[in-house]
Amino acid sequence: MDPTKEEPGQGNQDAVSIERADAPIRGGQLTVETLERVRERDSHALSTFFEFYFDRVYGLAYRLLGDHASAEDVTQEVFQKVHKAAPQLDTSRDPGPWLMAITHNACRDHWRSKAFKLGRKSQSLEDTEGLVETLAAPGEGADEALVREEQARKVQAAILKLPEDLRSVVILHDYEGLGHEEIAMMIGATHVATRKRYSRALGRLAALLKDL
């Protein structure tokens, strides 16, 4: 099976062990029963599925593309594909890696598109406005939130300076928490190649963020 083909339900079967129809998936919010109803395109189940995965899909798209408008484009594209492929969903597996693969592929197509390339030239990396609200933890002072916002902005800007292949690996590994084996399957590279890319990505980021 070609890991880059976005087969429905593709993923690390070991990540989720499903033995009963009501076995929980990821914190008990999604069950196999819910996934069965997703296959039937049940409106309520689809809504639950959406709430469960939306933030991961959107977050990954935003971190890879660097702006909200592009992240929205990709997120919509991903959920359209999921809706279309829902009847073929493998309910015995965690759909998470499958969604991440679709998202990654959609981002790759998006950043290779002419419109995105042109858009990036005219767009600054100031698309992190509003981070103060999302960064400020309860009880955290405004100064600390500003420092964290500035740090996050620098890191995001540095990530976006990486070549696409390095950017994907570092985001999927460190932001999404995927292992090198999963990433290798997702991007269609070998495990060793993925690890090397990750090392290179960290090295470049370190060079870009010397004063962090």
Partner 1 sequence: MHGPDEPPLTPLEERVRSVVRSLPHVEADPAFRNRLRREFSTGYFERRRRVRPPEPKIAGWFTWRWAIPATAILLVIAFGFVNRGPDWKIMSASGTGNVVVNGKTVSVSDRKALAGGLRRGGHISVPAGSELTLVSEGTLLVQAAPGTDLQLPTPPGRWMAKNMHAVVTKGEARLLTGPRFPGRTMDIGTPAGGTVITGTLVSVVTDGVFTCVCVSEGTARVGKSPTTMEFVPAGMRKVMWSDKRPAVLLPIEPEHAEGLTTLLREHGKDVGK
Q: Return the exposure string of 92-101: e unless at least 16 CB atoms fall within 10 Å of the residue's CB, then b.
A: ebbbbbbbbb
SS3 state at 182: helix
Confirm if 12 and 25 have CB atoms less than 8 A apart.
no
Select 58 or 111, whichever has its Cβ closest to partner 1. 58
The terminus-to-terminus CA distance of the chain in angstroms comes to 42
Q: Say whether residue 129 binds partner 1 (CB under 8 A).
A: no
Q: How far is the CB of 46 from partner 1 (least distance, A)?
A: 4
DSSP letter for each residue of 76-99: HHHHHHHHHHGGG--TTS-SHHHH
CA–CA gap between residue 150 and residue 125 (Å, rounded):
12
Half-sphere exposure of 178 (CA within 13 A, CB side): 29
Site for partner 1 in 34-73 (CB under 8 A): 41, 43-44, 46-47, 49-51, 54-55, 58-59, 62-63, 68-69, 71-73
CA 196 remoteness from chain centre? 21
Q: How far is the CB of 36 from partner 1 (least distance, A)?
A: 16
Site for partner 1 in 10-39 (CB under 8 A): none
Q: How far is the CB of 37 from partner 1 (least distance, A)?
A: 11
Q: Which stretch binds partner 1 (CB under 8 A): 2-10, 25-33, 87-95, 112-120?
A: 112-120
Half-sphere exposure of 114 (CA within 13 A, CB side): 0
Q: Which stretch binds partner 1 (CB under 8 A): 19-27, 88-96, 103-111, 120-128?
A: 120-128
Q: Point out which residues bind partner 1 (CB under 8 A).
A: 41, 43-44, 46-47, 49-51, 54-55, 58-59, 62-63, 68-69, 71-73, 75-76, 79-80, 82-83, 115, 118-119, 121-123, 130-131, 133-135, 148, 151-152, 155-156, 159, 170-171, 173-175, 177-180, 182, 195, 198-199, 202-203, 205-206, 209-210, 212
